[in-house]
Chains A and B, each alone.
Chain A
Amino acid sequence: MSAQAEIYKLFADKLFRVCLKYSKNYQDAQDTLQDSFLMIFKDIKKFKHKGSFEGWAKRVTVNVALQKFRDKSVLQFDAMEDSNISEEDVFVDVDEKNISLDFLLSLIKELPPKYQVVFNLYILDRYSHQEISELLKISTGTSKSNLSRARKILQEKINNSTNKSL
């Protein structure tokens, strides 16, 4: 097995998970994964052994996924959003066991792209607002505002769905 195949085998599952979070559907996630690996093999010289290879590969994958958003011109941030910042924790009244992962993923995908990206980066991939602002070329205020809106929308949808099921 070639070295590239070996790397694919080691990291494909983990990176596909990242791709699924940032893609509209399964097919888009496959395309993102393919482009990400091509980018990783091309830029592997840039990996300087600072931190783990897995971390570096995930960052490359996130960048590829974000580039796809940019290419589709769906990632347009509004600078006026800075005023709607709420950093309070948001709670939902549900039993965690009764909520499926597929349902939560579908909720994320229903979010407007700009909220979806910030929510994924901050909550699921643990980027800081500073890192998000540098990555998306927006202010930290815009990042916080988008996260806050994403949380509110998700809260509303989860509460609605639980009310319906009741």
Chain B
Amino acid sequence: MKINIDKLFQNKIKELKVTPPYGVWSSIETKLKRRRMLRFFGVSFVSLMSFMFLFSHAEKIVTTDLQKNTTTKQLVKEDPANKFSIVPEVKTTKKVSLFVSDKSKEGHLKLTSTQKISSPKNSRKLSSNYKKQESVKEESFQKVITNTVFEKKLKKFDYSVNNLDSLKKIKKKDLKKKRKELVKKNDAIDSIKFEKDKRKRWNIIPVLGVSNSGRFSKNTTTLGSQRAVTYPEKYFDDNQSSGLISNILGFNIVFRATNRISIQTGIISKELRFITEGLFLTEFIPDVNPTNIVYNPGVEVRFTNTPEIGGAYSESTSLTQTIVYMEMPFELKYRMFGNLKFNTNFIGGFSFLYLNKNEIRAKSNLLSRSIGKADNILTTSLSVNLGLDIEYHLSKRFVFNSAFMFKKHYNTYLNYGNEAAPYTIGMHAGIGYKF
């Protein structure tokens, strides 16, 4: 039988099934370890020196920023028109931990080969003498065979139909298994890439974004709880208070600890704004105005939530409360989807918040100015942070990052519970530098 020589080789080579002996992996592993050791000794000294330099440099920036704030606030304190407190000195300490991956041994490996065995052919001969006599018998015999074959096929079909669900399940299991293997394979590739990319484990990402604030408690303004004279059942706290869009500005520093986990910190200026509407302006009623406002010198007017009090008043007054925190987050990022080029991370952690600005502005048809500050906001507080972010590595050095964050504040007010403490929902983005 003539056969194309190309096809002969191509067909036969498919039968080649071999497994390399275990010794190959052992020697690869030994060489890899040796290479890693050499690289470690060569690079570790230089890396250590550069990290130390970067750490000391970053610490200087933080200290300078805080010193600037302190100086500014001390200057403010000297101004008799204001009553801000002095900023205490803050010291930051940082710890870096290194992770070393485990190595395990390769399993037993076999050498196998396959061979095909051709099956013998069967033949049947009929005697011509009995042809006529047997023809009738043969016909009936054929019928029986046909019926039997048909019945068998029918049974097989019934069996297939009945077992369709189980077949589906098996197929699904196979698909799941294959998907798992693929994920495992990609993960392994990413791990090695990560090992190779170790020298660029730090990112510094400028953060620019917006957030909106809210409270879980019902419409409380947190500006005071004085009861109205004309409407004794009405308290100032009952007034509608809602969050306003505010800005987020700062930078994050990210350390990629492993292929999947990163640690994130930074310094962010975070603004929270609340507006309280439906107020009235008055000159004479000091006992129904919000109790938690410390008025600036020269502010003679007060506010009420009832229109019938005597004196001149405006019907459209609102108070906007602005709180700005210096935020220092400590967050863990876990890579859920994607690869080292483009990925999605789950973020969880907490933030230290330091009160940087506390202001209440009034706006009506008579005035629009800063009238004072709230006296019930604590200087330091905390927030618990949850979020999702995406990372797209634009090049070896630059990475685009965008995050969607939910942050619940705790220990915000002096005389209100954590239910009244605000939460923020924000989104920020930035292009980071890897080093």
Contacts and interface: CB of A to CB of B under 8 A. Distances in A.
Contacts of B176: none
Contacts of A37: 28
Contacts of A21: 13
A interface secondary structure, majority: helix
A37 B106 CA distance: 14
B15 A101 contact: yes
Contacts, number: 143
B120 interface: no
A132 B420 CA distance: 73
Interface stretch (B185-193, B224-232, B290-298, B407-415): B185-193
Given A16-B18, A17-B18, A124-B13, A91 B3 contact: yes
A109 B204 CA distance: 57
A49 to B, nearest CB: 7
A21 B16 CA distance: 10
Interface residues of A, number: 49
A33 B20 contact: yes
Interface stretch (A4-12, A71-79, A137-145): A4-12
A3 interface: yes
Interface in B365-411: none
Nearest to B195: A3
Nearest to B187: A3
B192 A38 contact: no
Given A96-B11, A97-B118, A10 B32 contact: no
Given A6-B188, A17-B16, A33-B24, A41 B9 contact: no
Interface residues of B, number: 53
Given A10-B185, A96-B8, A3 B191 contact: yes
A2 B191 CA distance: 9
Interface string B1-16: 1111110111111011
Contacts of B310: none
A129 interface: no
A16 B19 contact: yes
B192 A3 contact: yes
A2 B5 contact: no
A99 interface: yes
Nearest to A47: B189
Given A2-B102, A2-B103, A94 B192 contact: no
Contacts of A17: 16-18
Contact of B189 (A7, A108, A155): A7
A2 B4 contact: no
A161 B28 CA distance: 40
Contacts of B68: none
Given A3-B188, A45-B193, A92-B3, A13 B8 contact: no
Contact of A95 (B1, B19, B185, B193): B1
A60 interface: no
B177 interface: no
A101 B188 contact: no
Contacts of B11: 96
Contact of A91 (B5, B188, B193): B5
Contacts of A166: none
B18 A13 contact: yes
A89 B4 contact: yes
A97 B17 CA distance: 17
A104 B4 contact: no
Contacts of A91: 2-5
A33 B184 CA distance: 22
Given A2-B101, A5-B103, A91-B2, 12 more contacts: A1-B104, A4-B32, A30-B24, A38-B28, A38-B31, A44-B196, A49-B339, A95-B1, A99-B8, A101-B12, A124-B13, A158-B8
State the 5 A-B residue pairs at the shortest beta-carbon distance, nearest first: A3-B191, A3-B188, A6-B188, A1-B104, A16-B20
